[in-house]
Structure 1
């Protein structure tokens, strides 16, 4: 929250100016080297795990940005997907052994906009090539010659700032050298067991297998997931239904036979129908962030939070030096005499029918969850806070990049501990929900069966694309409706979509809209009335509601936001 996000002009300047110079220089270098000769078709591929059939084995992706996926793929059963975030370009690389003074050809098949392929440390001229985008798979190819003492080079792919995720498959480096030695096929996994169930998911655990880099999960005979660790959560299941699961181990040498099966039965659904679990949140709800600090807004105790708020997100938890772990430190500036008083206020709000959750992240906060160990620590430490303070759940407000694979694992583990009453909300920045390939959007879809609401921050973002492909300026009805439409048509239930806006002009750097604009957007989406130039093709009467930063800034402005938006949300159809 309150983190200004650069507008699209920065990316356009880079792509149109300095970047063009880099690309031109790279293209000239490649063109000059091509005349020196190229690898022959008979030479072996020197890249290990070139099709990502063994997950990310042999590859390193910056910031945990990459993962192996089963779709889309060009060949085989896997490919690489990586998503830039902030200043990280989602670079995935591998160091390959080569021979000095030799010619090599590097190629890859890619999908996406501004996808790069290159080689670094050649000892002569490092090379790269790129594609500006387009539909379908495109092949990138470049050539280089190694220096007189070069014995290894780093080959890589990456995306570009402000762009959505890219996909790569079938990388190849051909030239003099020995192909990587293939390991033996791993053994069959043992110890497969059910770790937990919800009405729509089953969590599985098993023992690690030596030399395995990937595990494939089978549901009733069909492969449904491939994961790098020894646990997985299968989602999208029907309530009160039995399923049989097996797991196999794989590496670049092959896939093991499948394990003995285990059977798991999902829980009954508490709410009697489709949608999110029954966790006490009203059908139409207002979310507000309560500030555990003094930044010039009116300081509140929780008991003073306006009654219009149904979900109160305590901002924020703090990270520790241990990756993935969070704690909560009550700020003395808030004025509580003791933590016991704070806990009593939480209980009183809950007795009044409100949900109080702990928020993770914010403008400067960051929690790194990018492997199985940190995912476990995140789940365990969040659960500990829920037990200590009585929080009803967690809000994900990470603004510095997330890893959807491992954060999914963490939230699944937390759900298994807390049960169907868990409240899970998210507050991504506008750019994070522009398309389904972003890490935030993937996280939301991954946990759809336990997700309460995504309240996208429709501010601090400049102009953005709506679901109709047109550009809309922030601070308008069209901006709110056309961008919310992306989520509503991208796979989330209407009950999982909320409109996040500042409570006052001081609550954000830009993007404030008057409460009347928020109510107009709500009516447009739920009733088809009061729309601007954009009108959705259908209505979404189950829309969850609205969110604001913050209850404190709302109080500073004499409750101008909650007194108008609150009753309107509660009276939606």
Structure 2
């Protein structure tokens, strides 16, 4: 969430890779099946592997299995591609898998003689397994296995790579055995209609099945899941199993959870049914310099950008840029916050932005985050916090942090999020999972519908940014994925200068709002039903809006407030 965002080619490429994903079944392993990958766990360094531009090395931590793992770092125009030629048999089916962590990670094979396959994941703070399968052609005796990251992104780690199937002549590892039962099953969040769960990874597992009261509820590949469609104020029992090509494990120890009494999501008391959010810049980057008192009344939530990381893990601080803002004093700033609140507005502090480096990846940093944000709320009078972290998010510990903050701040806490489009493509992504985990205290998710290139809509089709279909078909993912309509907002730049791409005229924003709430003014995509409780819209930023004569807030603000 800054005036200069990442290149759109990053996200376009990510979608291209996503479209290559083949969801083929792995089938039952036979006694003759082996792992055909040599040095699959990188215990012999990079033996049998070739990494582009010297991007790869081996490390002892983190390691998923054994004592070593691959670390590969993209740099410049290199995506840290590490490959191995794997011997296979013709006309055979193989299951492909690898455990990955860190930055964007891709896994795939080429030269299959049939359909080449790949799969990928965005930033993953903990080990996550990528899996797919492929079938070889009539004359195929080898394939090229590859792992790679993405341009300009963080290093990725990989371990325990698998190409299970008939021995092509180079296999050394036996077929998988049935994995152990998962341990550490815990309840990470509840709403009136859902329960979120997490558990420890199991070595050798390719998937997990969650059971509710003894009946299969959902199957996932990661180590967390949200079970939906539950009844309010009701107690449920949950267990989870691990599985791979050899079979399914015994069930874990059961945990119980009771759903909340009321639904619809939490957070946002005192706000209008339909609200407009605007980011206010605590810096001068060429947009109109403003005091909070200059922000138009069309904005219901003002997110002060940004709080910064400190040297204490997880903790944040905020310092008003008085010099950059023409001598705006802290006392004036605090008085303006109180004046906005007296007028019925909410003023929150935003954490992150494009260059934000706040990392919450353990219980200590989660506590530090909650304590420091609450201290800022006490010092300045902020109504809550906005999460705008664009460099990965650990759902488990961010959930802990936000719940700890809510316990301190009480039910009046305003909690908003501003994920990028890639972060909300799947409910298994860290950002989406966090939003679902804290649904009962979440005010609104204002996803950034810009600087993203093309993306998948809820109908599986690809839509280009800058269109009404892009806004409606991507909002549909969140609406169908478990967020309440009142927790979904459309985030757009206020002018062409406010973002690198994705600007749309206010009339397009309004058309998308109409389409989602009334099924009017839609493009080629039309939702299956109306969402009259849709929260509204957001913009980066009030300053860029002012630079363009407040055209965005004047048009979109009036339209949002007139929604049914």
**Is the TM value for this pair above 0.5?**
yes
CA gap 1:417/1:526 in 2 versus in 1, 3 angstroms: same
Shift of 1:437: 3.4
CA gap 1:553/1:115 in 2 versus in 1, 3 angstroms: closer
Q: Residue 282 of structure 1 corresponds to which residue in structure 2?
A: 272
Shift of 1:292: 0.7
Q: Residue 413 of structure 2 corresponds to which residue in structure 1?
A: 422
Shift of 1:515: 1.2
From 132, 144, 157, the equivalent of 2:117 is: 132
Count how many residue pairs are aligned between Structure 1 and Structure 2: 489
CA gap 1:43/1:219 in 2 versus in 1, 3 angstroms: closer
Shift of 1:494: 1.5
- Counterparts of residues 493-532 of structure 1 (less than 5 Å): 493-532=484-523
Q: Residue 527 of structure 2 corresponds to which residue in structure 1?
A: 536
CA deviations on 1:40-64 (whole Å, 9 max, x unpaired) are 979999x9xx9xxxx967687979x
Q: Residue 281 of structure 2 corresponds to which residue in structure 1?
A: 291
From 297, 312, 316, the equivalent of 2:306 is: 316
For 2:419 and 2:360, how far apart are their aligned partners in 1? 16
1:534 is paired with a residue of what secondary structure? Answer: coil
CA gap 1:245/1:328 in 2 versus in 1, 3 angstroms: farther
Shift of 1:523: 0.9
Shift of 1:9: 7.8
- 8 Å CA contact 2:451–2:500 kept in 1: the answer is yes
For 2:14 and 2:426, how far apart are their aligned partners in 1? 23
Structure 1, 306-315 or 445-454: larger mean CA deviation: 445-454
CA deviations on 1:365-418 (whole Å, 9 max, x unpaired) are 221122332222222222222222222221111122222232222222222332
From 402, 415, 438, the equivalent of 1:447 is: 438
- 8 Å CA contact 1:236–1:449 kept in 2: the answer is no
Q: Residue 380 of structure 1 corresponds to which residue in structure 2?
A: 371
CA gap 1:450/1:481 in 2 versus in 1, 3 angstroms: same
Structure 1, 450-459 or 409-418: larger mean CA deviation: 409-418
Q: Any gaps of 5 or more consecutive residues in structure 2?
A: 18-29, 42-62, 88-93, 110-114, 121-130, 175-179, 198-208, 241-248
CA gap 1:12/1:279 in 2 versus in 1, 3 angstroms: closer
* TM-score normalised by length of structure 1: 0.64
Shift of 1:309: 0.7
Shift of 1:12: 5.4
From 349, 353, 359, the equivalent of 1:368 is: 359
Shift of 1:288: 0.3
2:497 is paired with a residue of what secondary structure? Answer: coil
- 8 Å CA contact 2:458–2:477 kept in 1: the answer is yes
Indicate the RMSD between aligned Cα atoms, in angstroms. Answer: 5.8
Structure 1, 6-15 or 377-386: larger mean CA deviation: 6-15
For 2:9 and 2:413, how far apart are their aligned partners in 1? 37
- 8 Å CA contact 2:10–2:452 kept in 1: the answer is no
Q: Residue 546 of structure 2 corresponds to which residue in structure 1?
A: 555
Shift of 1:571: 0.9
For 1:110 and 1:318, how far apart are their aligned partners in 2? 38
Shift of 1:243: 7.3
CA deviations on 1:186-241 (whole Å, 9 max, x unpaired) are 9x99xx9999998789999xxxxxxxxxxx99998999999x99xx9999976656
